[in-house]
Each structure stands twice: as structure tokens, then as C-alpha cells.
Amino acid sequence: MTSLDLMLLLAFAGFVFALAGFVKGVIGLGLPTISMGLLSVVMPPAQAAALLVVPSFVTNLWQIAGPGFGALLRRLATLLIGICVGVALGAGWLSAGHAPGWAGLALGLSLLAYASLGLLSVRLQVPARLEPWLAPWIGVATGLVTAATGVFVIPAVPWLQALGLAKDDLVRALGISFLVSTVALAVSLRHGGALDAQAAGSSLLALLPALLGMGLGQRLRRAVQPETFKRVFFTGLWLLGAYLALRSVLR
């Protein structure tokens, strides 16, 4: 790679994390989804996942701050344990030697599924009596998807949205789920050799544009129509997922 190629790659990565942070600031999610989707166009998914570890960890710490944290943590405990179990079961998938094509297809299909649910405005409801029984299995499924793709939105996000949480509690619950998924993913990547000292340093550099984007997004949250913004977000995500899936199939 020439010095010009390296500069262009760094500039692109900075733009991606600023955009992902901005979206997260507006709607409370989207950083790993956007960063994994766009960065996987120019680098292996395992490398992209390693870059998002620090920005995802710090921005989710920022997001979960506020009252009610303890109650939410207790309610989500079995979901979070399930996520850790799922990531452990799939440890090494993303960083395996054969992973780039397979993981790219899995990532594309995950983005397609997530974007389709968003565009269709699917609204699920979970009966209170079923929540304790289903939560661990939703967590395990989320962990497996995380281990395979580096994206931790399916099925955790639809599940959390179906619990009937208040707006601020939902944003905080998403942050808690993403934070635990990030830590579990980092351990998995470290075990698979994808998260070494150099990758961790690069991930730390990616934190600045992510924080700047998130701060701007939070400022603009009240000035934009959330539903319009979400439609644009999910449409772009659907197109990106379709591209990644087709590229992996035709490769």
C-alpha cells in the first residue's frame, strides 16, 4: 500500500466513523452497523470489527449514563449473559482464514434483514410472561450474529423495541446491550488474533471522529424529524447490505 493509499484509507475511515457517530447521536444506534457495512467494502470484516471496538465501547458508555441504569441492567441480565455465550460459541468465525467472503455475505444479509424491519416499520410486542424465558435465547442468537458479522443489532434491537420501554430507557437499554456486545466481540477478536496492539491503536484513533459525529448528532436530534431520518438511514443500509451480499456471492 502506497502512502497515498494509506492516507485515503485513513480519510475514508475517519469519515465513516464520523457518519456512524452522527447517526448514533440522532437515533441512539447505528455505529457498528454503518462502520462495519462501509469499512467492509475496503477491508476484511475482522479488520473493520477491530477498528470499531474503542469507538463503540466509549460511545455506548456515553449513551447509558443516566437514571435507571441499575433497574435496566437487572432486567436485561439474562439477555446480556446470552450475548456473551453466543459470542463465545462463535469465537473465531470472523477472524478465520476463510472468513472474508463468508462473513461479508453474513454481514450483508444481516443488514438487509435489519433494514427491512425498519423500512416496514415492524412493531413487535413481547408478553411480559414470556420475556424471562425468551431473553436468554435472543441473547445467544445476537451473540452468534455478532461473532459472525461484527454487527450486534439482530435480533437484539427488535427485541428491545418490543419490550415497551420508555424512549429514554430504550436508548439506554440499547447502549447497555451494545456495550456488552462490544466487550464480548473484543475478547473474541483478541482470541482470534484480529485485535492486536496495532489494531487497538487504530481503533483508539477512530474514537475522535466518532465522538465528534455523535456530539453533532445529539445536538441535531431535536431539530430533525426522526421518522424521516430513519427512513433515509434504513434505505441506505438496505442498499449497502444488498451490495455486500451480492459482492460476496459473485466473488
Run of H or E residues at 61? helix 45-64
Q: What is the pLDDT of residue 98?
A: 46
Using alpha carbons, select from 222, 245, 237 the residue that is nearest to residue 106. Answer: 245
> What is the residue type of 129?
R
φ/ψ of 108, rounded to 5, equals -60, -45
Measured distance CA(74)–CA(130) in Å, rounded: 16
Q: How far apart are CA 17 and CA 10, in angstroms?
A: 11
Three-state SS across 115-128? HHHHHCCCCCCCCC
Would you say 54 and 203 are in contact if contact means Cβ atoms under 8 Å apart? Answer: yes
CB burial of residue 197 (10 Å; 0-12, 13-18, 19+): exposed
Predicted TM-score of the model (pTM): 0.84
**Burial class of 218 by CB neighbour count within 10 A (0 to 12, 13 to 18, 19+):** middle
Q: What are phi and psi of 66, to 5 degrees?
A: 140, 175
Q: Which residues contact 113 (CB under 8 A, 6 or more apart)?
A: 154
> Which of 19-57 are b and which e, b meaning 16 or more Cβ less than 10 Å from the residue's Cβ?
bbbbbbbbbbbbbbbbbbbbbbeebbbbbbbbbbbbbbb
Give the other-Cβ count within 10 Å of 235's Cβ.
13
pLDDT given at position 205: 92
The span from the CA of 135 to the CA of 139, in Å, is: 6
Q: What is the pLDDT along the chain (251 residues), one digit of tens a residue?
A: 566 677 888 899 999 999 988 888 877 777 888 888 889 888 888 888 999 999 999 988 888 877 778 889 999 999 999 999 999 998 878 766 444 456 667 778 878 887 888 888 777 788 888 999 999 999 999 999 898 888 888 888 889 988 988 877 888 898 899 999 999 999 989 888 888 888 889 899 999 999 999 888 888 776 766 677 778 778 877 887 888 788 777 76
Span between the terminal Cα atoms of the chain, in Å: 22
Grid coordinates given for 84: 456473551
